[in-house]
Amino acid sequence: MEDLVGLWESAPYDYGTMESSWLCLRADGTGWSAWANAAGGASISRFTWARPRDGELDLQYHWTASGSWTSDTQTTTPPSLIEIDEEGPDHSFIHTGYTIKVDTTPLTEQPITALHLGTAIECAHQFGLATRDPAADDPA
């Protein structure tokens, strides 16, 4: 399970897109996902997660919010909602396969640890590891 723990971001794979996604998997089985686009739209969701078997990931969502965001454009940090248009319970469940491997992309100078998913989460199938020690606070 430790191989999945961390803050993952789509930034290394965002060439040609106007949006980014984040996936945070904490060691305690909680997490969050976020999506933001260049036009200022964003969504943030909270979930619990489990790895039922090697190569499989389950996410049970329980809350989501969407609205307008702000972020320091000099970093790849997740968005912070400044205006919430909608928020509430989310009962979505995602079961997907995954692989973790070393990868290179046109946007990275060095090889990265990459998470490749069979099902898109927050509009992304591929994430690069930002940190193995995600902060306890989230952008919501």
- Whether residue 72 is contained in a domain is answered as yes
pLDDT 10s per residue in the chain (140 long)? 689 999 999 999 988 778 899 999 999 999 999 998 888 888 899 999 999 999 999 999 999 998 887 755 444 567 676 777 899 999 999 999 999 999 999 888 899 999 999 999 999 999 999 999 887 666 65
**Rounded to two decimals, what is the model's pTM?**
0.88
- Whether residue 49 is contained in a domain is answered as yes
- Whether residue 138 is contained in a domain is answered as no
Domains: count for the chain: 1
- Whether residue 140 is contained in a domain is answered as no
- Residue 71 pLDDT: 59
Tally of CA atoms within 13 A in the half-sphere of 97 that contains its CB: 2
- Whether residue 1 is contained in a domain is answered as no
Full domain range(s) for residue 100: 6-131
Helices (H), the chain: none
> Bridge-partner residues for 20, per DSSP?
36
